[in-house]
Structure formats: C-alpha cells, structure tokens
C-alpha cells in the first residue's frame, strides 16, 4: 500500500487527518484550536516533523536494503518502484483536457507558413476551454431570464431582505437578552425570582434612603401615587439608571447595576404601591397617571 501512494501525498493526508481530529475534539469556541491554544500548534508542528522524519528514515532503510540486494533483485525492485509512482490516469486526463496532438503526430497539423523556421500548429481549442465557454453561455442565458425577464431578486434586493431579517432577529434577541434592556424597552417584571432579586438589591443599596418598607426617609415615599420624576416602570428604571434631580437626588446606579438588575429593582419598587409603611413620609411630587392605561381604558369604555 505504501508503494502505491507517494510520500508527498501520504504525509499531508495523514497530517490533515490528525489536524481534523484535533479540531474536532478540542473545544476552542469560534477560533481554531491551534490559534486559541499555542500548545496545540506546537503539537501539530511536532506531528508534522515526526511524519517527515518517519518518511526520511524509511527511505534511508530502503536505500540500505537496496545496496544489499543482488543485481537482479535490485533491478526488479527499481522497476516496481518506478511503476508504482506513475499516475498514468492523471497524465491521460491531462492530455484529454489539453486536446493537443502528441509530438509524433504534430506533422499532420503543421500549417504551410513559417517565420524564420518557426512553424505554427493548427491545434484545436482545449476541450476544457470549449466546455467552459459553453457553460458560461448557458449560465448567461439562465441569469438573463432569472433576473431580467422574471424580475428575480438581485444582489441589492437580497441584501435588503437579509437586513430586514437581521433587524427582526435583533429585536427578538433583545426581548430575551435582559442586559440589553433600557428605559425605552423595559417592562414590568412579575416573576417571583425577579422580584426576589429586586428585593435583595433594594435591601442592599436603597433601604438607607427609602426604608425597608418603602416609606421613605432621606429619599421619597415609594408607596403613594406621587412621583417626582414620574412613575411607571420606564420612569422608575430611568431614574435608577440616570439618577435623580441634579444636586439633591440619588446617584446614577448604571455603573454599579446591570440593566437586568435595574429592571428587577424597579419592578420591586413598584410593588410598594398601595402598601402601608410604618412611618410614611409626606408625599412629594405629582400624582402620576399611566397614559397608556388611560388610553386603553377609554378605548374599552367607548
């Protein structure tokens, strides 16, 4: 089997099989394993050197054994080796694709004129070139009908379709990617786990100013309907993220809390609405009315 495949094919094939196995079994994320892990690159280089060394050693052993053979055995060995390395099918395929006459038959296609002893052969065009030309004609006809007669989507149309699909996919992703939420896209969270997380954040960062029951202290009362910077999940989220009134409001928490955490604590803050704290602070700000709910109520009433 070894004599049927030359070393210049055998070594790359074995190397790429090992390379593929390494890439398959080594988890390197989106990057190739030999880039993500330098040790893998060193391993592959070592494997390549070992394969080349094995071929060199085997070749050297063959030469040593060849010199120990008698003349007849040596002649048979060389003849077999020479025969095994000839890829006749490759040469025949090349000749067919070339479409030229053999040298011994070129006299049949020599043209009558010559220039300073240089003669011209009347060779046919290579079959590969002729077939490629025919294929290009067929392709052009199909392309003409597809995109200019039947108004198929051209590259610009396909780009617009892909961009539209990408925008839809992005919006869908934003709905489930909690840390991409902002005050424009935030929604009220009602899940027990989210409210529990919001409570932990509130008790860690907010009770000093708003009290554990939301009754207010340094900060305003969170249980009544009055809001200084607006109520509702969007306004509360924005106030937590960007901070309160300049110079006398609370700090901006966007540097300390993730968007998902601010959504959780904002939802927890709104859960104080309608509760009765132990020592409620006097109302501050204006009564806030959710305009979206008002519009919805009016539509239902009408």
What domains, with CATH codes, occur in the chain?
Answer: 2-86 (no CATH), 192-301 (1.10.760.10)
Residue 176: pLDDT band (50, 70, 90) is confident
Tens digits of per-residue pLDDT, 5-63? 677 788 899 999 999 999 888 888 888 888 888 899 999 999 999 999 998 898 888 88
Q: What is the pLDDT of residues 81-126, one digit of tens each?
A: 666 555 566 667 777 777 676 666 666 777 777 777 777 777 777 8
Model-level pTM? 0.46
Q: Where do we find the tokens 């030999």? A: 34
Residue 221: per-residue pLDDT: 92
* β-pairing verdict for 118-121 and 226-227: unpaired
Is 68 in contact with 36 (CB distance < 8 Å)? no
pLDDT band at 1 (very low <50, low <70, confident <90, very high): very low
Q: Per mean pLDDT, which range of 85-89, 189-193, 223-227, 295-299 is the poorest? A: 295-299
Selection from 286, 288, 276, 263 nearest residue 223 by Cα: 276
Q: Identify whether the C-beta of residue 281 lies closer than 8 Å to the C-beta of residue 228.
A: no
The neighbour count for residue 142, using CB atoms within 10 Å, is: 10
Q: How many CA atoms lie within 13 A of 278 on its CB side?
A: 5
How does residue 220 score in pLDDT terms, banded at 50, 70 and 90?
very high
Number of Cβ atoms within 10 Å of the Cβ of 111 = 9
């Amino acid at each position: 089997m070894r004599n049927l495949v030359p070393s210049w094919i055998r070594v790359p094939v074995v190397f790429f099989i090992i390379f593929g196995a390494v890439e398959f079994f080594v988890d390197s994320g989106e990057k190739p394993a030999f880039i993500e892990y330098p040790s893998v690159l060193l391993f592959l280089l070592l494997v390549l050197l070992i394969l080349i060394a094995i071929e060199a050693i085997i070749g050297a052993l063959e030469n040593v054994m060849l010199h120990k053979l008698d003349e007849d055995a040596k002649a048979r060995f060389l003849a077999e080796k020479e025969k095994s390395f000839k890829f006749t099918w490759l040469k025949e395929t090349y000749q067919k694709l070339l479409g030229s006459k053999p040298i011994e038959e070129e006299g049949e296609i020599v043209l009558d004129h010559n220039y300073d002893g240089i003669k011209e052969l009347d060779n046919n065009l290579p079959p590969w070139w002729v077939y490629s030309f025919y294929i290009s004609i067929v392709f052009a006809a199909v392309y003409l009908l597809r995109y200019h007669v039947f108004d198929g989507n051209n590259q610009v149309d396909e780009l617009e379709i892909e961009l539209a699909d990408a925008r839809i996919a992005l919006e869908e992703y934003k709905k489930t990617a909690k840390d991409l939420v902002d005050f424009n896209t935030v929604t009220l969270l009602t899940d027990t786990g989210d409210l529990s997380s919001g409570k932990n954040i509130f008790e860690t960062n907010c009770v000093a100013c708003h009290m554990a029951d939301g009754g207010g202290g340094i900060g305003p009362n969170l249980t009544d309907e009055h809001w200084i910077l607006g109520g509702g999940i969007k306004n509360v989220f924005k106030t937590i993220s960007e901070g309160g009134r300049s110079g006398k409001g609370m700090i901006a928490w966007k540097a300390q809390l993730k968007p998902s955490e601010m959504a959780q604590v904002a939802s927890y803050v709104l859960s104080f609405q309608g509760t009765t704290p132990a020592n409620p602070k006097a109302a501050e700000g204006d009564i806030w009315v959710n305009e979206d709910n008002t519009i919805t109520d009016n539509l239902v009433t009408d």
